[in-house]
Amino acid sequence: MSAPTPSALVRMPFAELQGLLQTIFKQHGCSEAVAGVLAHNCASAQRDGAHSHGVFRIPGYVSTLASGWVDGRATPEVTDVAPGYIRVDARGGFAQPALAAARPMLVDKARSAGIAVLAIHNSHHFAALWPDVEPFADEGLVALSVVNSMTCVVPHGARKPLFGTNPIAFAAPCAGHDPIVFDMATSAMAHGDVQIAARSGQQLPEGMGVDAAGQPTTDPAAILDGGALLPFGGHKGSALSMMVELLAAALTGGHFSWEFDWSGHPGAKTPWTGQLIIVIDPSKAEGERFALRSRELVEQMQAVGLSRMPGERRYREREVAEREGVALSEQELQGLRELAG
C-alpha cells in the first residue's frame, strides 16, 4: 500500500475533503444523497490511509459515471423478505447507498432475531469494504460482508482468470477499544494496489500474479495488460474467493465477476455485481460478555508477541488525520479541484 509522496504532501480537514468529493460526485451525475454517501466513504478511506480506495479512485468513479455504466441517481428498492432477511435491488447504482437505505431495517432485524442478512444485487462496489462493517461494531454488533468484483484472478490450479479480487470484511466490538476489523482481498493483492505500483514504477513481490502467457511475473503492468492476479494462500484463498462469488452473487441475485460486459462503456471501471452483509447481535448469546471476550482475545494475542492488530494501522492514521488533517498529494488535490470544476 503506497502513500502519497511525502515531499508533495498536503493536509486538509476531513469535512473539507468530504465536501470537495461530494461536489465532484454531484458534478459528474450523482444525486445529492448518493454523492453524500460516496464522498464520506472515499474521504474516510483517504483519512485512514487506505490508499487503494481513497481519492486514487475518483477518476475511475468519474469515467464510469460519464460512460453511463452506473446510475448515480438510482433509488434502491428495499424488500423485507423474512424476519432475518432483506433484499435490495440497487437498480444499477452504487452498493453503499443501497446499504444506507436498508441499514435501519437491518439493525432492527438483527436486534430482534439475533441475526439478519442483507443481500444487495444489481450494484456497483468500487470501494474499501471496512466502512460498510465497522459502524455496526460501533453499535455493539458483529458484521461480516463480502463483495465480488471483476474477473482478474486465476483460481488455484486453473489456467485462466475467473474470480474477482473478492474482499471479505469483518467487524466486532471490543470492550474499551476500537472495534476489531479486518478487510482483505482474497487475491494476493488488491487490483488497486497493482495499479498504484504500475503507476509508480514499482515491482511487486513474487507470487502475486501472472502475465498474459500465464507465466509468473513481478511486473504490475504485465498483470494489468492481459495477465492476472493469483489468490492469496493458494488453494485456501481460492476457496474463500469461490465462497465470495457464491454469497455475493449467487445468493443475492447479482452477477458473478465474469458475467458483466462493460466493453460497450469505455471508461467503465466499477464491477456490476452483488454484496452480502450478515449482522449478528452478540447480546443474544453472551449478553455484554462478547465485547469483554474480544478484549481478552486481543490481550492474549498481544501477550504472545503480536504487535499489530488488523485495523490498528488505519486507526493510527485516523488519529493523526483528525489532529493534523487528511493527507493527500498536491497533485491529487489539484486533480480533485479540476474535477470539481
Catalytic residues: 52-53, 193
Q: Whole-angstrom Cα distance, residue 235 to residue 90?
A: 32
* By the rule CB under 6 A, 126 interacts with ligand PYC: yes
Q: Looking only at residues 138 through 157 of this chain, which bind ligand NDP when binding is defined by CB under 6 A? A: 147, 149
**Amino acid at position 224, single letter:** L
282 interacts with ligand PYC by CB under 6 A? no
CA angle 99, 102, 103 (to 5 degrees): 75
Phi-psi region of 25 (alpha: psi -120 to 50; beta: other; left: phi over 0): alpha
Contact status: 312 vs ligand NDP (CB under 6 A): yes
Q: Is 41 in the site for ligand NDP (CB under 6 A)?
A: no
Q: Does 165 bind ligand NDP (CB under 6 A)?
A: yes
- Cβ atoms of residues 165 and 229 within 8 Å: yes
Cα of 230 vs its chain's centroid, Å:
19
The smaller minimum CB distance to ligand PYC, of residues 84 and 267, is found at 267
Question: Which phi and psi angles does 269 have, rounded to 5°?
Answer: -130, -15
Distance CA 72, CA 74 (A): 6
Rounded distance between C-alpha atoms, residue 107 and residue 281, angstroms: 9
Q: Which is nearer to ligand PYC, 185 or 222 (CB)?
A: 185
Contact range with ligand PYC by CB under 6 A, out of 71-79, 99-107, 183-191, 310-318: 183-191
- The yes or no reply on residue 313 touching ligand NDP (CB under 6 A) is yes
Q: Can you list the alpha helix ranges (DSSP code H) found in 114-140?
A: 130-138
Contact partner at residue 173 from ligand NDP, ligand PYC, none, CB < 5 to 8 Å by partner kind: none
Map residue 94 onto helix, strand or coil. Answer: strand
Residue 250 or residue 285: which is nearer to ligand NDP going by CB?
A: 250
Binding mask 241-280 for ligand NDP (x = CB under 6 A): ------------------------------x---------
Q: How many CA atoms lie within 13 A of 288 on its CB side?
A: 2
1 binds, among ligand NDP, ligand PYC, none (CB under 5 to 8 A by kind): ligand NDP
Residue 224 or 340 having the CB closest to ligand NDP: 224
Q: Cell numbers of 129, please?
A: 469494504
Round to whole Å and give the CA distance between 183 and 171: 9
Shortest reach from residue 272's CB to ligand NDP, in Å: 11
**Quick check: helix, strand or coil at residue 96?**
helix
- The residues in 134-173 that bind ligand PYC, with binding defined as CB under 6 A, are 149, 165
Residue 127, SS3 per DSSP: coil
The 8-class DSSP code of residue 52 comes to G
Pick the stretch among 23-31, 100-108, 162-170, 294-302 that binds ligand NDP (CB under 6 A).
162-170
- Hunting for cell 437498480 — which residue is that? 91
Site string for ligand NDP, 178-217 (x = CB under 6 A): ----xxxx---xx-xx------------------------
Residues that bind ligand PYC (CB under 6 A): 52, 126, 149, 165, 185, 190-192, 271
Residues that bind ligand NDP (CB under 6 A): 1, 50, 52-53, 125-130, 147, 149, 165, 167, 169, 182-185, 189-190, 192-193, 271, 308, 310-314
